[in-house]
Amino acid sequence: MIQKHPCRRTVLAAQAALGLVLATGVSGVLVPARARGLAPTPSMRGGSNNYLPGAPIVERIGGGGFWMTGTVRRAGDGEPLRGVRIQIWAHTTEGHERDPHSHGATLTDADGAFRLEMPQIVPAFGQPHGHLAYDSGDFETVFLRPVMRSARETSLSADFVLQPV
Amino acid sequence: MGPARAALAWAALGTAILLPIGVAATSPLLAWRDPVYILAGMAGVIAMALLLLQPLLAAGYLPGLRLPRGRRLHRWTGAALVGAVLVHVGGLWVTSPPDVIDALTFTSPTPFSAWGVIAMWALFAAALLGGLRRRLHLRPRVWRFAHTALAAVVVLCSVAHAMLVEGTMGTLSKAALCGLALAATAKVLRDLHSWALLTRHIV
């Protein structure tokens, strides 16, 4: 008899949780840019490793051949953010992460998209990965560390949703 | 064991150890790495190779290196293993300090780092037990259980670490080396009754 209560509680809790998942999940899919709907992107573990603040805005990093792409939007309403400076660095065919010449920055366009050519990223510290930073002050700082599905890929993308300060 | 079989055993072991080292030494990734990073990676590969040698030496399985000669060499190889791991971690530290700090504090984004760090500490503990064996005055059964249990952790975690890393080692030769190290360790643990402490009555 004593066991009955926890069982019913568990069932009720599961039903409530399922309802919550369905409600948030479905509405998230249907109206992605609804007010307070878009959560800010959290920084990734290890994202800020070998960060050198103030990388210059460049046409491309080194000789190019690899594309780092992505978007920048505002948390909450999902408004694309224009002219936002994104800093990028990685271990590439032309240098280690800590080398200043492996670092560069670019600005987002009117659609909140950015795209910077850089040398081919090669596996380092066990994974082919890149680093991106938003660290300009108007929004909370975010460091990303996306991993390539395969070392043979010639592009990598990462999206930012920024929280106004 | 006849001379022909002995030669065959050494040839097989030499291949299992030298092939992965050779593949790693000719990896295209090396072209884009500084000497210190190359050294760090190679020290890790050599450490993996020594993990195959260690149980075979400890149990005296190798022709010409039966007990006690094998056991004596096991101590030197153990010291070399500690040295290789120190060079591995030290070289990675020089190459990218924040990545190594993340690994040592178990906050790395890469899952294989934690396995490597656990293996490192277990190795240091196993080596310490080896170095202090006489001074510790432990019963042989207790000492052997502790040392081989730590060694098993070292091998298991090192294999997980190596297999998850996308680095200079070739996939096939790496898997073969790891499989052989696991098999050799398992056989030695069984043959030396490493678990006697747990399965027999203690008087």
Q: What is the ipTM of this complex?
A: 0.91
pLDDT at B1 over 80: no
pLDDT at A51 over 90: yes
Tokens of A144: 């990303």
Q: Is B35 on the interface with A (CB under 8 A)?
A: no
Q: Is the same domain home to A89 and A158?
A: yes
Q: Is the same domain home to A77 and A158?
A: yes
pLDDT at B34: 97
CB contact under 8 A, A125 and B112: no
Q: Is B108 on the interface with A (CB under 8 A)?
A: yes
pLDDT at A11: 44
CB contact under 8 A, B113 and A126: yes
User: What residue of B is the nearest CA neighbor of A96?
Assistant: B33
**Mean pLDDT score, B123-129:** 98
Q: Is the same domain home to A84 and A151?
A: yes
Q: Is the same domain home to A6 and A70?
A: no
Identify the CATH number of the domain in which residue A134 sits: 2.60.130.10
Mutation target to probe the A interface, by most A beta carbons within 10 A, among B27, B29, B30, B32 is B32
Count up the domains in chain A and report the number.
Answer: 2
Buried-state track B4-13, b at ≥16 Cβ within 10 A, e below 16: eeeeebeeeb
Domain assignment of residue A134, given as a range: 66-162
Across B12-16, B67-71, B191-195, least confident range: B191-195
Q: Is A153 on the interface with B (CB under 8 A)?
A: no
For tokens 């991106």, the residue is: A132
Tokens of B91: 């070289």
Is residue A36 a part of any domain in this protein? no
User: For B129-158, what is each residue's pLDDT tens digit?
Assistant: 999 999 999 999 999 999 999 999 999 999
User: What residue of B is the nearest CA neighbor of A95?
Assistant: B32
User: What residue of A is the nearest CA neighbor of B111?
Assistant: A126
Question: Whole-angstrom Cα distance, residue B23 to residue A134?
Answer: 40
Contact (Cβ atoms closer than 8 angstroms) between residue A131 and residue A88: yes
Is residue A56 a part of any domain in this protein? no
Does residue B68 have a cis bond before it (omega within 30 degrees)?
yes
Is residue A15 a part of any domain in this protein? yes
User: For A25-39, what is each residue's pLDDT tens digit?
Assistant: 444 444 444 446 999
Q: Is the same domain home to A75 and A142?
A: yes
Q: Which of B31, B107, B112 sits opposite A126 (nearest CB)?
A: B112
Q: Which of A54, A76, A37 is nearest to A162 (CA)?
A: A76
Is residue A40 a part of any domain in this protein? no
CB contact under 8 A, B29 and A128: no
Contact (Cβ atoms closer than 8 angstroms) between residue A66 and residue A19: no
Q: Is B27 on the interface with A (CB under 8 A)?
A: no
Is residue A48 a part of any domain in this protein? no
User: What residue of A is the nearest CA neighbor of B89?
Assistant: A125
- The shortest C-alpha distance from B105 to chain A (Å) reads 12
User: What residue of A is the nearest CA neighbor of B91?
Assistant: A125
Window B:49-78, CB contacts with A under 8 Å: none
Contact (Cβ atoms closer than 8 angstroms) between residue B159 and residue B181: yes
With bands split at pLDDT 50, 70 and 90, how would you rate the model's confidence at B202?
low
Contact (Cβ atoms closer than 8 angstroms) between residue A36 and residue A164: no
Q: Is the same domain home to A152 and A84?
A: yes
Q: Which residues pair with A71 in a beta bridge?
A: A113
Q: Is the same domain home to A70 and A142?
A: yes
Across A28-32, B25-29, B31-35, B87-91, least confident range: A28-32
For tokens 């101590």, the residue is: B75
Q: Is A42 on the interface with B (CB under 8 A)?
A: no
Q: Is the same domain home to A75 and A122?
A: yes
Q: Which of B34, B96, B113 sits opposite A50 (nearest CB)?
A: B96
Taking contacts as CB-CB distances below 8 angstroms, the residues of chain A near B115 are: none
Is residue A46 a part of any domain in this protein? no
CB contact under 8 A, B29 and A123: yes
Count of A-B CB contacts under 8 Å: 57
Angle between helices B3-25 and B171-191 (to 10 degrees): 140
Q: Is the same domain home to A78 and A139?
A: yes
Is residue A119 a part of any domain in this protein? yes
Is residue A44 a part of any domain in this protein? no
Question: Whole-angstrom Cα distance, residue A127 to residue B10?
Answer: 35
Its pTM stands at 0.88
Q: Is A92 on the interface with B (CB under 8 A)?
A: yes
Question: Whole-angstrom Cα distance, residue A135 to residue A84?
Answer: 10
What's the mean per-residue pLDDT of chain A?
86
